[in-house]
Amino acid sequence: MNAIKAGVRNETVKLLSRKKYQVLLILTCLLSIGIGLLGGFAKGLIGLSSTSTPLTVLSLVTAFIVPLMIAMSSADLFTAEQENGSIKAVLTRPVSRINILTSKVLAIILYTLLVLSVCLVTSLVYAIAFNGLGVSNIAEALIAYAVSIVPMLPITLFAVTVSQLCKNSSSAVMLSVFGYIIIWASSIVFPSISSMLFTSYVGWYKLFIGAGMPFANIVNILALLVAYTLIFFAISSWVFEKKEY
Amino acid sequence: MVLKINNLSKTYRNGRGIKAISFQVQEGDIYGLLGPNGSGKTTTMKIITGLSRADEGDVQIFDSSVENDGEKSLEQVGCLIEAPAIYEYLSAKKNLENAAAYYSDIKAPRIEDILSQTGLLEYQNDKVKEFSLGMKQRLGLALALLSNPKLVILDEPVNGLDIEGMVAIREIILKQAKSKGITFLISSHLAHELELICNKIAIMKDGHLLKTATMEEVIEQSGTLESYFLETVRSGKEKAV
């Protein structure tokens, strides 16, 4: 457990020490404000509502920005480190490979949580300050952001698996992004398989807000997302365990 | 016995690799692996440190099998394999702090101590990407020595360094061996460099271990390690150990 704790700390420090991940945080913050401004000016014309700024930001961020960020961080923590040899810094320490993999995955999830938190705080502050967001809307936004980490888990493990199979970081990012787009597009082209694909549920927070909560539906989707997460984790840990450096 | 290598073999897809390598390193040894590029030194060291797996054979470090008990076998080991494994976007101190996080007994004073011993104290907060090759190599050595290991494995530690850099690395190794009794396994293709620091030597070529000897035997027989290496390789009659 201590090895995982130390690993998560190290991997998080590594991610946050890099300029691109700091810039990404600032950009998501600016994006949240930008959407809030757009909502104010457009007055619902393009489907944006100033009172639903936090949820609009969440939809955009979970559909595009977070998956891209996950692809980048997976490529950096796995493929790039393998490419430049720095992964040996931890592989030659008395830590098991499964613990190393788990630490890296948890660090990516932590960074995802940080991005979502930045979006939540920025969009909430903006909406409360300029649009007079009510208490019920705030509670809704909090719930929506909290549950949105769940569909990000299979996406994270998918990107980690792709990163294990690639030899350079650029191709790892490209393959993860294209893979995500192809799976996402498949659900549009073949609506019948949509319910079986993990990319179809990035907006599952909608099930948790509003009048009724479809409990059975939520449990089914949760089981599917957990299954995808475990399958990708099993594949990536098997590859990571077998890999030679 | 600190390190016991028994009949280690590995063949890569291109047919290269190592064949039936066996040798033992005793406590307090500075054991050198001498051989040209491609002779199998790095492959041997990668298998010893668990970075790679052998097709056959076994490695034991302090009686723990690397294959079956990798974590335990690496507890007393520090290493520098190929290039130093460092994060260039972090400072030297942060690199050491990251490594120290995996050991419960390594605290800030030890980090400062090892930075001082490797001459990096005044650059501790500088990003590693601004370091010269020699400084990076010293940081790699600092990372290998950080956990107070009983066995340190160094793969070509002076590769690409200028004279001052080579002397600096050599002095650190000799000081650590003398003051702390650390056992070293060092590979190099530079015979003179190994002659200056090692007490035992193994000659490798084309994936085979041709001969092992103490440095005293080497000097007595051939005068220099370089001559000994050439005689061993040219004779071509020695059987793999």
What was the pLDDT predicted at A200? 94
Query: Alpha carbon B21 to chain centroid distance?
Result: 16
Q: Which of B49, B82, B87 sits opposite A14 (nearest CB)?
A: B87
Res B59: pLDDT: 96
Cβ-Cβ contacts under 8 Å between A and B: the total is 70
Q: Does A18 touch chain B (CB under 8 A)?
A: yes
A186 and A193 Cβ atoms separated by less than 8 Å: yes
Helix or strand or coil: residue B214? strand
With H, G, I as helix, E, B as strand and everything else as coil, classify residue B178.
helix
Q: Which residues of B touch A88 (CB under 8 A)?
A: 51, 81-82, 85
Instruction: Record the tokens describing residue B39, joined without a space.
Output: 């002779």
Segments making up each domain of chain B, as ranges = 1-76+150-241, 84-148
pLDDT at B159: 85
- Report the CATH number of the B1-76+150-241 domain: 3.40.50.300
**Long-range residue pairs from A23-31, CB within 8 A, at least 24 positions apart, any chain:** A24/A65, A24/A69, A24/A115, A25/A114, A25/A115, A25/A118, A28/A61, A28/A65, A28/A115, A28/A118, A28/A119, A28/A122, A29/A118, A29/A119, A29/A122, A31/A57, A31/A60, A31/A61, A31/A65, A31/A119
Q: Measured between beta carbons, which residues in chain B are less than 8 angstroms from residue A7?
A: 101-102
Among A31-35, A234-238, B86-90, B235-239, the range scoring the smallest mean pLDDT is B235-239
Residue of B11, B44, B51, B107 to mutate, interface with A, max A Cβ within 10 Å: B51
Q: Backbone phi, then psi, for B182, in 5-degree steps?
A: -70, 140
A243 and B CB contact within 8 Å: no
- pLDDT for A134 equals 73
CA dist A11 and B33 (Å) reads: 34
In A74-113, the residues whose Cβ lies within 8 Å of chain B are 84-96
Contacts of B127 in chain A (CB under 8 A): none
Report DSSP state, residue B85: -
Residues of A in contact with B102 (CB under 8 A): 3, 6-7, 90, 93-95
A104: chain B residues, CB-CB within 8 Å: none
Report chain B (241 residues): mean pLDDT per 10 consecutive residues. 95 93 96 95 96 95 89 92 95 97 92 94 96 94 96 93 90 93 96 96 96 96 95 72 48
Mean of all residue pLDDT scores within chain A: 91
Q: Does B55 touch chain A (CB under 8 A)?
A: no
B46 touches A: beta carbon within 8 Å: yes
